[in-house]
Structure 1
């Protein structure tokens, strides 16, 4: 299974991103910003960019963060490390991914907040190929609301610890 038609995020998806809409419309949270990070080729650069995400969120004094990854496999190296680099700075993270955290190519102790949003697993053919319906397997409003609710829970747990 590779990244195909059903997993592609269209321009319209970016203009009307359900995750951004859910967070910006919620009166209990304050959207501080959006950080867009590519996935470098070299491992050293992957770890550097992931560390910069964690440091940036710490400097912004973010109470929590929701990550979203449009990719699998190699992209999960820096994605998993960015989650770790953020949580070690005491910023709770919820992450959205096409596959469950147990299937990431790298693992760490901070992947408990990964929500899988791949919806067409039951529609895949016998050969395991994804569907060819454009954007069928991208984050939708329900996925965004689940991520926001989970983040609020993690933020409350952090408040109770302190």
Structure 2
């Protein structure tokens, strides 16, 4: 990943605004209006919670000898984020998302697709189009 919190946020927002938004729009086009609204809200909550989780990820990244996360730890973070959101929606609930009609298999499919596409983009396209971003702690600005 990246060595600065601001760099992590930039990459997360970039992936949400490109890969995540494209995937969400594709899911929304194929679904009913009620499910489309919940899908968009779920996408927004993933982004908001993700920005908060990055504080913890950034702190735990400092304990690693190379100051970086490998792919397996990134996968573990993605699994944690998905399970956390499912648990919150089903137990406490989130505004705009109906607890009773929240489709867990649909969310798992959506989130798995998003996580895999994000990993592919992070480990391929970002390194091709921005090969020196790692020298600035992942910050582009």
Q: Bin the TM-score by the shorter chain.
A: 0.3 to 0.5
Could you tell me the TM-score, scaled by structure 2's length? 0.36
The structure richer in helix per residue is 2
Q: Which has the higher contact order (CA 8 A, sep 6+)?
A: 2
